[in-house]
Amino acid sequence: MIEPVQLPVPWRDARLTVVVPTYNEAGNLPVLVERLLALPLPGLKILVADDNSPDGTGEVADKLAIEHPDRVEVVHRAGKEGLGRAYVDGIGRALDGGAEYVAQMDADLSHPPEALPGMLGALLSTQAGVVIGSRYVPGGELDENWPLYRRALSGWANLYVHTLLRVRIRDLTAGFKIWRADALRDIGLERVQSNGYSFQVEMHYLATKLGHTILEVPIRFEERRDGASKMTTATKIESALMPFKLRSKHRNIEP
């Protein structure tokens, strides 16, 4: 586990909301929340968007919100509509709640919470609209326990999207990042079509089309601690088709 960066005042007091979509993450969520609240970021809040998890993740989240009433909020969604819809809902609520910066991360502990202060510092010290915790820039790492087929799928997906969309990001499918609130408002969540994991690609594509600077910093990506991956065949098909839809739908967008 890395040691979190100590940011100077007033950076460490920034109003940062971490949006965490969940579906069957009852075992991982308490650990993630504990690590997030231990960070030297007193302005950090957590918004859990749960898609009616059958394993009781929503109830676990409610207990955490009772324990930390000023720092943890829970959004209970009607059912599993996909990662993209959960993020659109959660990010929209974070912006409405006054967040200056919004972070995205998975609930499965694959993204190191301790990297957030450094990522926030990188965002605040540059003109970037978003900072990505990247697996594929120098210094980035993949857990040696990450299955070979997942490595191959991730590498192929990045190459495929690069070829079709010409977006100059090494980790196009990354799900760990911090956005400036004004960049998110400029993108406009109402534009976003993706339901599944292609949400990440669509957001990066829109940010690039609108002229926002995207900065990648290295992280170590860990294999999930508990539970199972949510990647389905339908999700893979959507992800394969989405670049074509993006080129068509967003072709006239300009800064």
Residue 236 DSSP class: H
What pLDDT does 150 receive? 66
Q: Note the CATH number of domain 11-250.
A: 3.90.550.10
What pLDDT does 237 receive? 59
Partners of 22 in the β-ladder: 50
pTM check: above 0.75: yes
What pLDDT does 166 receive? 76
Q: What is the mean pLDDT of each run of 10 residues along the chain (255 residues)?
A: 93 98 96 98 98 97 98 94 92 97 96 98 97 95 74 70 79 94 96 84 92 96 66 58 68 71
User: Counting every residue, how long is the chain?
Assistant: 255
Per-residue tokens: 198:
């292609």
What pLDDT does 163 receive? 73
State the pairing for strand pair 141-142/130-134.
unpaired
What residues contact residue 187 under an 8 Å CB cut-off, 6+ apart? Answer: 203, 206, 207, 210, 212
Sketch the domain layout of the chain as residue ranges: 11-250
Per-residue tokens: 199:
């949400």
